[in-house]
A = this chain, B = another copy of it.
Amino acid sequence: MNWSNGFIAVDWGTTNRRAYKLDASDSCAGEFSDGKGILSVPAGGFETAVGEIRQHFGELPLLLAGMVGSNRGWVEAPYVDCPAGLEELAKALVPAPDGSALVVPGVAYRNGRCDVMRGEEVQILGAAAAGEIPPDCLICHPGTHNKWTELEAGRIASIRTVMTGELFSLLKGKSILSELMQGESSPGPAFADGVKRSLSGAGLTSELFGARASVLLGRADPADTPSFISGLLIGEDVRVGLSGGSTRDRPVFVMGRPDLTRLYAAALSQAGVESSAVSGERAFIAGAAKIVELIR
């Protein structure tokens, strides 16, 4: 593979993918995204799925990150252990079966408890390489599974995943709370009330039912319930994320969709922690460029 004329970087997740064309000077010359996550690619279908990307951007080598490197993806790229920096990722790239692409490994944390990530590592290490976040900080990465990542000396030192987004979806989709959760969540008083309860260590699995009981007993407005439950879940997430001893005095950065980052920023602020938002897309491009620089 000749990487000197530019390449295509793909953040390929479970339910969607986002591809960027980088030119010879690593500037972004185009991007597209669609809902073709790895779960929608049939067995043996990755050559075709990659072909669609090349129809957009031409015959360039590909750098693929995210769940495409999992055991349900195109080719499994075994996890690199913490502490992991861009050098460790670059050394552990795995070629795709057809020789047209390299797949970025995920990162594993094993220290008493276990945790893993695939995809976020390129964004986080890219943000650090680009100077958008300092080499020592805590990153909060909201999504289906929020990842709290400790960066130490520019390398990923620990990971803690919290299933907040997935739990919210499960409860909203088909639970006794579903009806009460159909509206939008916003960081107002109801959200703050939920955050406060969870930060104080109230039991989430009990407070969730309390949200329903409060409506039944006329003590809460049903219109506030999506925000309150969102506050409970995100408050618990922040409580867990900040519980790592060494993270208290580090700057905190939130990376992700704006609708989520503002809720997390509000909850962090309530916990007495100021945070800054970082663009995950720009960070991904920076990380991919840095990895390719290391193998050119």
B163–A208 contact, CB under 8 A?
Answer: yes
In the complex this chain forms, how many copies of it are found?
2
Contacting pair B114 A213 (CB below 8 A):
yes
B239 and A203 form a contact (CB under 8 A): yes
Residues in B with CB closer than 8 Å to A207 are: 113
How far apart sit A162 and B203, CA to CA, in the bound complex (Å)? 8
Tell me the bound Cα distance from A167 to B233 in angstroms: 14
- Which residue of B is nearest A203, CB measured? B240
The answer to the question of A293 belonging to the interface, with a C-beta cut-off of 8 Å to chain B, is no
Instruction: Give the total of A residues in contact with B, Cβ under 8 Å.
Output: 44
A226 to B205, CA, bound (A): 18
Provide the residues of chain B in CB contact with A282, threshold 8 Å. Answer: none
Shortest beta-carbon distance, A52 to chain B, in Å?
A: 26
Residue among A79, A113, A240 with the highest chain B CB neighbour number at 10 A:
A113
Report whether B205 and A236 are in contact in the complex, using a CB–CB cutoff of 8 Å.
Answer: yes
- Which B residues are in CB contact (< 8 Å) with A296? none
Residues of B within 8 A of A171 (CB): 170
When distances are taken between beta carbons in the complex, the residues of chain B under 8 Å from A219 are: 110, 114
Q: Return chain B residues, CB-CB under 8 Å to A164.
A: 205
**In this assembly, does A243 line the interface, its C-beta being within 8 Å of a C-beta of chain B?**
yes
Chain A 197-215 near chain B by CB (<8 Å), digits 1 or 0: 0000111111111100110
Shortest Cβ gap from A240 to chain B (Å): 3
Complex contact B205–A167 (CB within 8 A) = yes
Minimum CB–CB distance for A72 against chain B, Å: 11
Q: How far is the CA of A213 from the CA of B162 in the complex (A)?
A: 12
Known: A171-B170, A176-B166. A114 touches B205 (CB 8 A): no
Query: Which residues of the other chain, B, contact A206 by a CB distance below 8 angstroms?
Result: 160-163, 240
Q: In whole angstroms, what is the CA distance A114 to B220 when docked?
A: 10
A209, B170: Cβ atoms closer than 8 Å: no
Chain B residues with CB under 8 A of A209 = 115, 145, 161-163
Contact status of A205 and B240, CB under 8 A, knowing A161-B213, A217-B116: yes
Residues of B within 8 A of A217 (CB): 79, 108, 110, 114, 116
Indicate if the CB atoms of A162 and B108 lie closer than 8 Å: no
28 example contacts (A-B, Cβ-Cβ < 8 A) are as follows: A79-B216, A79-B217, A108-B213, A110-B217, A110-B219, A113-B202, A113-B207, A113-B213, A113-B214, A114-B214, A114-B217, A114-B219, A115-B209, A116-B216, A116-B217, A145-B209, A160-B206, A161-B213, A163-B209, A166-B176, A170-B174, A170-B175, A203-B239, A203-B243, A204-B204, A205-B233, A205-B236, A205-B240
